[in-house]
Amino acid sequence: MPSDTPLLKVDELSSHYGPIQALFGVSLEVKQGELVAIVGANGAGKTTLLHTLSGVQKASGGQVFLDTREITKQKPHKIVAAGVCHVPEGRQVFAPLSVDDNLRLGAYALRKEKEWVEQELDNIYTLFPILNEKSAQSAGTLSGGQQQMLAIGRALLGRPRLLLLDEPSMGLAPLLVEEIFRVIQSLNDQGVTILLVEQNARAALGIANRGYVLETGKVVLSAGADELLKDEAVRRAYLGY
Amino acid sequence: MWDQILQFLITGVTVGATYALVALGFAIIYNASDVVNFAQGEFVMIGAMTAIALSAGDGGLPLPLALIGAVLITIAVGILLQRFAIAPARGASVVTTIIITIGASIFLRGVALLVWGKDIFAMPHFSGEIPLHIGNATLLPQNLWVMGGAALLVMGVHYFFNHTIIGKAILACSCNRTAAHLVGINVGLMMLVAYGLSAFLGAMAGILVAPITFTSYDAGVMLGLKGFSAAILGGMGNPMGAVAGGLALGLIESLAAGLISSGYKDAIGFIILLLVLFIRPSGMFGKVSAERV
């Protein structure tokens, strides 16, 4: 059940690509145990926002806090070590490396905790039996859905306090989308705090507690997921009915 | 005749082992950062020259200590090269980074020329110069040092990239840098490790072979080019292919020099390079990558 402590607090965050501004003072919060969705059209800045949270994209203004600790200017590997694990858009698995190696690299920051890594690896293989079956194959030979599972599993091996998911449904067949969303929901039920970015607004808001609508780098609306699903403007713009 | 051929084979494997180590250095840096480091030959020269300098004269260090010192200095040069010449050009095109590494190699050669002059230096053999006889062919103990040392280093590198998490993290940086960041790999540090490792291999090659071939400030030029040819022959970016390419190149050169004419020795290496580029640009063991998206 979501508690009231904000695990992630984003305050007036801005970011630029060279002279072009992509984020204009985005503020949001994710509480411990919540599943929060960010919906918006292509180019709204959703991926940029997640990249800025992970530190692979530089913030040009504003602050990001994990608990009370500021992580705005931290290097990406420090942010991962602090417990922010990111499943990037388009999966981004290490194609030539084996499935098993991909997962183990997810625990790179925790490589000294061997017992925990083996334990969690077992858990991931139980959660995604197909990955266990193909553990010795190179990740590039997996199908899109399997690669998405691998990318999620890899992030879980980073022992996330906050899991960032970028377009997990992209390019997947409808049945697979359903399965991926079921997995995301069950991870949240097990207590993983999740910030989910999706173009598939209906599916995302269907499992989220709360949602933010991002338009051209600004938050234009935020409310409970149910309210957003009923909102006239959101329905017209993002749900298509 | 057969004795002669055996002699050529011994020479070929020895030279080939050196090429293999240089080629391995090329492959590691290429794998980690997509950079073709044309200063690789300079690592070989710096390793050999500093080892000689540290051990020379009355106040010189004992040979083993001098060798360790030379290896450490070369590793430091490799790390500095990455940090101050390659890293600032992150995101530059392949041609730009190649020109940077060529510039770096000219710079390093210039420094070596200032420090050591144009003299040719010899290093003492590690364990004497009494040749061993196999049939009518002869083998110096140093030949065994080169072959054995190279074999151990190659096995070590193979183990590092296939069975250690740090080795795999370096590979991860090359296949997807953003994803490497996102799983918590310190990508900048991994680049330094890769350059340090390549410099280490270069220094070892230089030190092992210097007692046989002698060395001078410009010894790295030819070795670097031969190592590059070997890496291309084996398939750029395939470490074990680079090793096989090095051995093959060494053997072919030695046989051609012995059976045809020693004047063509160096030409052979480059003719092979051109043939590979024309006929099979992915090299002997270059993988055809299969990837689903």
Which pLDDT score is estimated for A3? 57
Cα–Cα separations (whole angstroms), residue B148 to A94, A186, B17: 34, 55, 9
Residue percentage of chain B with pLDDT more than 90: 68
- Chosen for mutation from A74, A105, A143 (greatest number of chain B CBs closer than 10 Å) is A105
Largest CA distance in chain B: 64
Q: What's the whole-number mean pLDDT along residues B109-129?
A: 91
Task: Reply yes or no on whether the pLDDT at B95 is more than 50.
Answer: yes
Residue B128 lies in a domain: no
- Chosen for mutation from B90, B183, B238, B293 (greatest number of chain A CBs closer than 10 Å) is B183
The answer to whether the beta carbons of residues B187 and B181 sit under 8 Å apart is yes
Residue B211 lies in a domain: yes
CA distance B195 to B106: 18
The answer to whether the beta carbons of residues B216 and B118 sit under 8 Å apart is yes
Provide the ipTM: 0.92
Cα–Cα separations (whole angstroms), residue B13 to A38, B48, B255: 62, 20, 11
Residue B176: list chain A partners with CB under 8 A.
92-95
CA distance A120 to B122: 56
Q: What is the pLDDT of residues B165-205, one digit of tens each?
A: 999 999 999 889 999 999 999 999 999 999 999 999 999 99
Which pLDDT score is estimated for B134? 84
Regarding predicted confidence, which is higher, B34 or B231?
B231
Residues of chain A contacting B, Cβ within 8 Å? 54-56, 75-77, 80-81, 85-86, 88, 90, 92-97, 101, 104-106, 108-109, 111, 140-144, 147, 154-155, 158
Q: Which of A90, A108, A154 sits opposite B165 (nearest CB)?
A: A108
Which residue reads 């500095």 in tokens? B80
CB contact under 8 A, B181 and A54: yes
Which pLDDT score is estimated for B192? 96
Number of A to B CB contacts under 8 A, please give it.
84
CA distance B40 to B22: 7
Q: Where are the alpha helices (DSSP H) in B83-164?
A: 94-116, 141-163
Task: Reply yes or no on whether the pLDDT at B293 is more than 70.
Answer: no
CA distance B136 to B132: 10
Query: What token pair was written down for A155?
Result: 């992030």
Residue B184 lies in a domain: yes
If one counts the domains in chain B, the total is 1
Residue A154: list chain B partners with CB under 8 A.
183
Q: What's the whole-number mean pLDDT along residues B112-132?
A: 90
Which pLDDT score is estimated for A146? 94
Query: What token pair was written down for A161?
Result: 């306090």
Shortest Cα distance from A136 to chain B (angstroms)? 13
Which of A182, A31, A149, A154 shows the shortest CA–CA distance to A86? Answer: A154
In chain A, what are the domain boundaries? 1-83+160-241, 91-157
Residues of chain B contacting A, Cβ within 8 Å? 165, 168-169, 171-172, 175-176, 178-187, 289-293
The answer to whether the beta carbons of residues B181 and A56 sit under 8 Å apart is yes
Interhelix angle B265-279/B239-259, nearest 10 degrees:
130
Q: Which of A77, A94, A143 sits opposite B184 (nearest CB)?
A: A77
The answer to whether the beta carbons of residues A148 and A180 sit under 8 Å apart is yes
Regarding predicted confidence, which is higher, A153 or B2?
A153
Residue B106 lies in a domain: yes
Which of B236, B233, B209, B211 shows the shortest CA–CA distance to B223? Answer: B209
Q: What is the pLDDT of residues A143-173, one digit of tens each?
A: 999 999 999 999 999 999 999 999 999 889 8
Q: Which of A77, A88, A106 sits opposite B178 (nearest CB)?
A: A88
Which of B33, B63, B10, B21 shows the shortest CA–CA distance to B211? Answer: B63
CB contact under 8 A, A96 and B175: yes
Q: Which of B169, B178, B184 sits opposite A92 (nearest CB)?
A: B178
Residue B290 lies in a domain: no
Mean pLDDT in chain B? 91
For residue A7, which phi and psi values (nearest 5 degrees)? Answer: -80, -45
Give the residues of chain A that fall short of pLDDT 50. none
Regarding predicted confidence, which is higher, A54 or B292?
A54
Query: Is the C-alpha dihedral spanning A152, A154, A155, A157 positive or negative?
Result: positive
Sorted by sequence, the CB contacts under 8 Å of residue A108 that are 6+ apart come out as A158, B165, B169, B183, B184, B185
pLDDT category at B94 given cuts 50, 70, 90 is confident
CB contact under 8 A, B184 and A109: yes
* A90: Cα separation from own chain's centroid: 12
Residue B285 lies in a domain: no
Written as one string, the DSSP assignment of B41-88 is HHHHHHHHHHHHHHH-STTPPPHHHHHHHHHHHHHHHHHHHIIIIIGG
CB contact under 8 A, A141 and B183: no
Shortest Cα distance from B171 to chain A (angstroms)? 8
Interhelix angle B63-81/B40-55, nearest 10 degrees:
150
Strand partners, B198: none
Residue A144: list chain B partners with CB under 8 A.
292-293
Shortest Cα distance from A106 to chain B (angstroms)? 5
Q: What is the 3-state secondary structure (H, E, C) of chain A?
A: CCCCCEEEEEEEEEEEECCEEEEEEEEEEEECCCEEEEECCCCCCHHHHHHHHHCCCCCCEEEEEECCEECCCCCHHHHHHCCEEEECCCCCCCCCCEHHHHHHHHCHHHCCCHHHHHHHHHHHHHHCHHHHHCCCCEHHHCCHHHHHHHHHHHHHCCCCCEEEEECCCCCCCHHHHHHHHHHHHHHHHCCCEEEEEECCHHHHHHHCCEEEEEECCEEEEEEEHHHHHHCHHHHHHHHCC
Which of B225, B41, B215, B222 shows the shortest CA–CA distance to B116? Answer: B215
For residue A16, which phi and psi values (nearest 5 degrees)? Answer: -125, 145
Shortest Cα distance from A76 to chain B (angstroms)? 6
CATH superfamily of A1-83+160-241: P-loop containing nucleotide triphosphate hydrolases (3.40.50.300)
* B56: Cα separation from own chain's centroid: 24
Residue A108: list chain B partners with CB under 8 A.
165, 169, 183-185
Which pLDDT score is estimated for A167? 94
Task: Reply yes or no on whether the pLDDT at B291 is more than 50.
Answer: no
B215 DSSP 8-state letter: B
Q: What is the pLDDT of residues B8-67, one digit of tens each?
A: 999 999 999 999 999 999 999 998 888 899 999 999 999 999 999 998 877 788 989 999
Which residue reads 């970011």 in tokens? A15
For residue B226, which phi and psi values (nearest 5 degrees)? Answer: -65, -40
Domain range spanning residue B25? Answer: 10-123+139-279
pLDDT category at B292 given cuts 50, 70, 90 is very low
Task: Find the closest chain B residue to A106 by CA distance.
Answer: B183
Q: What's the whole-number mean pLDDT along residues B243-266?
A: 90
CB contact under 8 A, B172 and A94: yes
Q: What is the CATH number of the domain that holds B236?
A: 1.10.3470
Query: Is the C-alpha dihedral spanning A223, A229, A232, A236 positive or negative?
Result: positive
Task: Find the closest chain B residue to A90 by CA distance.
Answer: B293
Residue B132 lies in a domain: no
Shortest Cα distance from A227 to chain B (angstroms)? 33
Secondary structure (3-state) at B190: helix
Residue B178: list chain A partners with CB under 8 A.
56, 88, 92
